[in-house]
Each structure stands twice: as C-alpha cells, then as structure tokens.
Structure 1
Amino acid sequence: MTIDERTVEWMLNTDPALRWQVERDIVGAPPEVWQATRARVGTEGFGARLLSWQDPDGQWAGGSFFPAGFFDSPEIEQPGQPWVATTWVLRDLRLWGLDPAALTGTAEKIDANSRWDYDDLPYWGGEVDVCINSYTLATGAWLGADVSKLVAWFPAHRLTDGGWNCEAEEGNSTRSSFHSTLNALIGMLAYERITGDTSLRDTRHAGDEYLLSRRALYRATTGEVVGPFVTRFVYPNRHRYSALAALDYFRDASLLDGTPPDERLTDAIELVREARTPEGTWIQTTPLAGRTWFDVDVAEGEPSPWLTLMGTRVLAWWDAAHPA
C-alpha cells in the first residue's frame, strides 16, 4: 500500500504521543528515532499536561472511574460521562507510550487512596465491570501493581458463548458483547506484552474466536451487521467497538503471537479500506459525549491523524500478508 508523503508529514506534525507511533509503524524509523520521540511524551504535549493535573494522592479528579462528587452534581444528568478520572487518564498515558518511571509511586498511592465507585472495592483488585477490569489489568501491569486477582478474574467470567459483557455481572445479560469482548482482549494482550506472563493467552485466544467466528462484524444469529457502531470510527474510542478498533487489536495480537492475519477478517478489512479518503486519511465521526481534560483529536467530519495511523498500519499489515 502506497502512502502519500503529504499524509505522512501531516501525521508526523502532531503530538509526541502520536508521532512516535507514526515513526515506528508507518515510516519504519530506526528504534533510536521513535524511542527518542516517545521519551518526550512525559515532558511535553498531551502526556505532560495530564501528568501536571495528578492529585497529591495519586489520582486524577479525585476519583477512580468517575470524578469526586460526580453522583451529587448536575453533570450526572448530562449526556455521556466525564473522562477525567484516574482510570481514563492512566489508560491514555499508557497507550500514548509514557515511560512508567514518570509515575513512580503512583501504584502505591492509588492502592492506598483510590476505591471503586462500585462497593468501595480496592482499586487494583478490580470490580465487576469487565471493561473497567481490562483497563485496570493493563494499567496495573504497566505500573507494577499486584493484579493477580484480575488475572484470575478474566477466565472465570468468560460467558458460555465465548466472550464477555459488562452487563453480565448485574444479571442483565447472558450474551457476550462486541464492545466488552474487545476491551477484555485488549487488556489481556497488554498484560501479556508488559509482563511476559502467558497465563491468559488461552483465554485471550478463546475470546478472539468469539469475534472471529462473527468475522468481527456480524451477529451469529442473523448474519446481520451487529450495529451501526462498527463503521463509526472515532478517536478516542474509549470503550466503543468498531471494525477499525478490532482490526488494530488483531494486528497487535498477530505481531505478539507471531501469527498471520486471520482470513475471517477480510470483510472488516474491506470496510476499513472503503472508508479511506483519496488523500489516504480516515474521517472522525461523532466524539463520545462527556467532559475531557482537553481535546486530543479533531472535530467530527475532519481527517483524524489518530484514525489515519490506525487505518494505515492495519491495511499495511494485511496487505503485507496478501501481496497482489
């Protein structure tokens, strides 16, 4: 797949959190180049801004998943949810490539001071929501926290149809969700990459099969597209499933596992390919509602450098395994 040089320059002219990934995954720069850019995440741009707002107790916005006082404020009546509390910030910083040394002592402070909104549970033990637990598993591994309870949690809570659902623990569903399953897989993959512990690999591969058996797009019961969200590419996607987010995960898993792309992803690949503009970019759809610390991507309807990074590297991975 050829990439327009102007599009590459446009992607490079961004925050270090994005630029180092473009250098590594698109440009093929030597490790010393993209690693030097990655080292800047903690000292400038998005990463430095988030670090500056950390509370003395190790949290952000005074809370674990929701900011302090959220349930007693008018904000609870607004669309979406705030994305400013500890879990969301740590997730972003990890995905942006921040060196965890910049957060030395944070795991211990959170262990001492942060509790889940659900049942006041200890932070690093997780709670009942699989998406929350997936973020916590990955973040805990990254910061060196004890996440052994969460390592045991994921295989124990996989549903009989093969995946996970955030509604299952409350008894609201016995069927897996595309959204929840993808988040679970992303968390387990990050845990394995960070720690080298392969104890969740079989569980992850079984969860992969849930999505692959549905070709990452379709309902098992009717064969119809599972929902309009599959084509709603957005960054940050937070918890939301899309064909692009799923393919970015499967690419990442393929690289770690040393396996070729699964042919059952063909339809999803073509959907992503069709969404590419003539300039080689992908367009931002409607950002998720809710308060943020600051914007990290473009407005709806504009070409997104983040989505373009994801789309470009996914197609390059696929096309390398399917030469014309």
Structure 2
Amino acid sequence: MPVDDADAWLLATDPALRWQVERDLLGAPPQQWQATRRRIAQEGFGARLLALQGEDGMWAGGAYFPGGFFEDPANQDLPGQPWTATTWSLTALREWGMDPAPLRENGTVERLARHARWEYDDLPYWDGEVDCCINAMTLANGLWLGAEVGAIADWLLAHQLEDGGWNCDWVEGSQRSSFHSTINALGGLLALEEATGGTQAVRTARRRGEEYLLRRHLHRRLSTGESVGPFVDRFRYPFRWAYSVLRALDHLRRASALDGTAPDPRAGEAIGMVRAARQEDGTWLQGPVLPGAVWFAVDVPEAEPSPWLTLHARRVLDWWEA
C-alpha cells in the first residue's frame, strides 16, 4: 500500500529510527530528538534487545555465532547465518544510536573479556580475530563501550591491501579488495576518528579506502567498467555485512561531515541509483533480506516500503543536493 504522508509515517516508528528522522530529516530542535533518543534503552527495539543479554554479557551465548552453533549438524545446511549473537546485537544497538550507559554500567566490557571467545581459534573477544568485517564491527563497538581496542585498529591498518581496500579472504591469499569487506573496514576506521579524532595514519587509510570505491564510482570494476554485481542496488535493512551503493553513500556522507568536504562527483552514478529506486509516494522498498535467524524483525518484508531505507536514502540525497 502506498504511504499517504511519508514524514508522518516515519515519525510513527520505533525511537531508534524516529530520533534520526527528527534530527536529520525534519530539523527538530535538539531537546526533541535527544529526548526521543533516550527512549531507545527504555522501549521498543533497544529495550527488547537489551533484555536478551545473558548473565555472561553475551547474546545467544556466542561471539559471532550463537553458542554451540557449529556442534549441531542441522545448522550446516541453514540458509544464511544467525544474526543473534553478541557482535550483531551490539552492532545493532550502536547503529541505532543508543546511549551505551546501560551496557557500561552493567559491566558488559568486563564480562565479555571474561567469557566471550571468538569461534576462530578461541581468541579473546576484545583482541579481535582475522576477519576484516568482524574486526571493524568490534572496533566500532568497543570504542562505543569504552573497551581497549587499539590493537584492532592497528590490525586494520596493517591489513589494508595494495589497491586501497580490504578483503576478508586475505587469509586465503587474496590480494584484491572486496567491496563488502572495504565498506565494513571503512566503517570501523570512521568510528575511530569520530570517537577519538584518529591519527594521520588512520585518516590516510580511511581516505585510501574511500578512493578505492570512488575510483570505481561505487559500483564498477576498474578493469572493465562493468558493475561488480546486482547486489550494488539491492537496498535492504538491516545492512549486516553486505555492500550496496546506498550504504557506501551513507558512509561518504558521514565522512564528508567529519572532513568538512563536499560530496565527490564520482558518487553521482550511485546517487542516480538511489533516486531511481524512489517510489511515487516518497518511500524506498525493502529488497531481498539476508536470510538467518533474528531476535525480532526491525523492518518490513521484501517489496514493502521500508522506513529504515527511506531514512537512509533521504538523508543521503539531502546531503548530496545541499
């Protein structure tokens, strides 16, 4: 069904989304959107997810996968992966903009240091592991919670590839970057700069990674000019690990605000894709959602108007057009 009033429709959502609509799309006064933001931990998605944290500080008893996931043979044939374990739950709360105070006060950092181990080689949680995307999320989550994650930042810098991007398959010998891995790594480095100011080395690495995407107009192969795949304009929320030009543009929007720079014209083709996906009623439709178990749904099924995608798309277009 078409949406009659897109602004009213966006405001009739969970506080995790609504405060961003108030601040970024409607220009509400700070006292209004800050009050809405404080409600994330008290009601709706944020409160529900907080209530699911275990006594050990984890969600679903595991770091990246639920506890015991690989011991059950039935799980090997599941489509996708579960999105319920600790890293995904923390990432959701952080990306929704929740104040981390409840998690800091309940000792989440310390409890995870004691109890959480990565599925890869049983490594300590706050030390990270060998996957660029996992380490980038853990870096951002750790900064948000006040954990010591400097070693993960150093690891990301050391594993940037010659072409400027990253690839989680570096452990298999890959020397060519991945759009998916690169956008995740960039998110971690940008979070580091936003939280601490960063260093020249961090800024250089982040801008090299952005240049990797911009030289390819956010969706093309450098060698042939062809699009890297149909995933680039399949917009879906939650983003999870997956790349799309909308997600890349949202990163560039945040980086532009941090650097005080105008949008790069090479992102224009990607902006055209976002505009083309806009429906007559001013909404964007949910694409094919990544399969896997979730605690609860936070957005609509495929082909329905998505409040989250509409927020992100409108925010990106406002930035570009300004």
TM-score (norm 1): 0.96
Q: Secondary structure at the match of 1:14?
A: coil
| Residues 126-172 of structure 1, C-alpha deviations (whole Å, 9 max, x = no match) | 1100000000000000011010111111111001111000111232x
| Residues 216-266 of structure 1, C-alpha deviations (whole Å, 9 max, x = no match) | 010011100110000100000101000111101111111111110001001
Aligned to 1:297: 299
Matches within 5 A, 1:1-324: 6-73=5-72, 74-104=74-104, 105-171=107-173, 173-199=174-200, 200-320=202-322
Letter in 2 for 1:195: T
Which ranges of 4 or more aligned residues in structure 1 deviate by more than 4 Å?
Answer: none
Letter in 1 for 2:88: W
TM-score (norm 2): 0.96
Query: How far off its partner does 1:5 sit?
Result: 8.2
| Residues 96-146 of structure 1, C-alpha deviations (whole Å, 9 max, x = no match) | 111111102101110111010001111111110000000000000001101
Query: How far off its partner does 1:187 sit?
Result: 1.2
Alpha-carbon distance in structure 2 between the residues aligned to 1:251 and 1:12 = 22
Alpha-carbon distance in structure 1 between the residues aligned to 2:153 and 2:28 = 35
Alpha-carbon distance in structure 2 between the residues aligned to 1:314 and 1:174 = 31
Percent identity reads 60
Answer yes or no: is the 8 Å Cα contact 2:284–2:310 preserved in 1: yes
Alpha-carbon distance in structure 2 between the residues aligned to 1:198 and 1:83 = 33
Answer yes or no: is the 8 Å Cα contact 2:65–2:119 preserved in 1: yes
Answer yes or no: is the 8 Å Cα contact 2:232–2:245 preserved in 1: yes
**Aligned pairs, how many?**
316
Alpha-carbon distance in structure 1 between the residues aligned to 2:293 and 2:128 = 24
Query: How far off its partner does 1:188 sit?
Result: 0.9
Letter in 1 for 2:13: T
- CA-based RMSD: 1.1
Letter in 2 for 1:31: P
Alpha-carbon distance in structure 2 between the residues aligned to 1:212 and 1:40 = 37
| Residues 173-195 of structure 1, C-alpha deviations (whole Å, 9 max, x = no match) | 21100010001101111121122
Answer yes or no: is the 8 Å Cα contact 2:4–2:281 preserved in 1: no
Alpha-carbon distance in structure 1 between the residues aligned to 2:22 and 2:196 = 25
Q: Secondary structure at the match of 1:293?
A: coil
Answer yes or no: is the 8 Å Cα contact 2:263–2:320 preserved in 1: yes
Answer yes or no: is the 8 Å Cα contact 2:40–2:46 preserved in 1: yes
Q: Secondary structure at the match of 2:57?
A: coil
Answer yes or no: is the 8 Å Cα contact 2:140–2:191 preserved in 1: yes
Query: How far off its partner does 1:75 sit?
Result: 2.2
Unaligned runs of 5+ in 1: none
**Stretch of structure 1 that moved more, 240-249 or 192-201:** 192-201
